[in-house]
């Protein structure tokens, strides 16, 4: 097995946020290398016939409480975003674009976007809100817009999403340790075990 942890995610997934907050300790404890794998969850849902838990009202209501319990267990801030679900196409293109063009800035970008969505309840589907959030974090909004419009970046997100589906991904977050797949932020203990055994 590989000592690499692949983390397939979409910013619009609150469970992806919760898992993301735990990744630094997880890789530090296991000596693993983390590879962030941006994907478009809407594309995954379309390809697999899956849908958001909130499409079932009772499940959506339960999920909100469960996410809050996990946030409390992890000791992290979490506020459910009233704008949910947010179209994350631009946000995910930004992630994969930075991974391609400025990989050293990807983590800072992910930190900012996850925090804005799931701590500060910002509607990053609003271009003006997104631009203000990026500016405050030291990113240049016009350069970001150009990056997300780059045909190579668009194609990379499509390819990354298709790869995720081909490997069995049906939702976010999904972790891989070698060929072993782990779905959900509540499976990190199994991820840890797999990394320690690798």
Per-residue pLDDT at 19 exceeds 80: yes
**pLDDT tens per residue across span 28-70:** 999 999 999 999 999 999 999 999 888 899 999 999 999 999 9
Distance CA 91, CA 9 (A): 12
Cα 37 off chain centre by: 8
Tell me the mean pLDDT in the region 71-99: 97
* CA distances for 151 relative to 30, 38, 148, 154, angstroms: 37, 16, 8, 5
Q: What is the overall mean pLDDT for the chain?
A: 96
Domain 4-197 class? alpha beta
Q: Where are the domains of the chain?
A: 4-197
Per-residue pLDDT at 2 exceeds 70: no
> ∠ CA(16), CA(174), CA(30), 5° rounding?
90
Residue 117 has, within 13 A of its CA and on its CB side, a CA count of: 24
Per-residue pLDDT at 91 exceeds 60: yes
* CA distances for 34 relative to 7, 59, 73, 185, 198, angstroms: 7, 31, 23, 15, 14
If you ran DSSP here, which 8-state letter would residue 2 be given?
A: -
**pLDDT tens per residue across span 97-135:** 999 999 999 999 999 999 999 999 999 999 999 999 999
Tell me the mean pLDDT in the region 139-166: 98
Enter the pTM of the model.
0.96
Per-residue pLDDT at 1 exceeds 90: no
């Amino acid at each position: 097995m590989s000592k690499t942890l692949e983390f397939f995610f979409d910013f619009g997934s609150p469970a992806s946020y919760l898992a993301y907050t735990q990744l630094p300790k997880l890789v530090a404890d296991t000596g693993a290398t983390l590879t962030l794998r941006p994907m478009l969850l809407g594309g995954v849902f379309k390809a697999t016939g899956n849908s958001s838990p909130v499409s079932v009202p009772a499940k959506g209501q339960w999920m909100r409480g469960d996410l809050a319990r996990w946030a409390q267990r992890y000791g992290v801030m979490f506020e459910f975003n009233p704008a949910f679900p947010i179209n994350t196409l631009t946000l995910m293109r930004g992630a994969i674009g930075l991974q391609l063009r400025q990989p050293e800035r990807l983590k800072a970008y992910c930190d900012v976007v996850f925090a804005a969505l799931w701590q500060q309840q910002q509607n990053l589907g609003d271009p003006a809100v997104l631009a203000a959030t990026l500016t405050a974090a030291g990113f240049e909004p016009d350069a970001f817009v150009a990056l997300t419009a780059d045909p190579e970046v668009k194609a990379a997100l499509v390819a990354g999403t298709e790869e995720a589906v081909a490997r069995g991904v049906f939702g976010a977050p999904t972790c891989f340790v070698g060929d072993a797949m782990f779905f959900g932020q509540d499976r990190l203990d199994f991820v840890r075990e797999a990394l320690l055994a690798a």
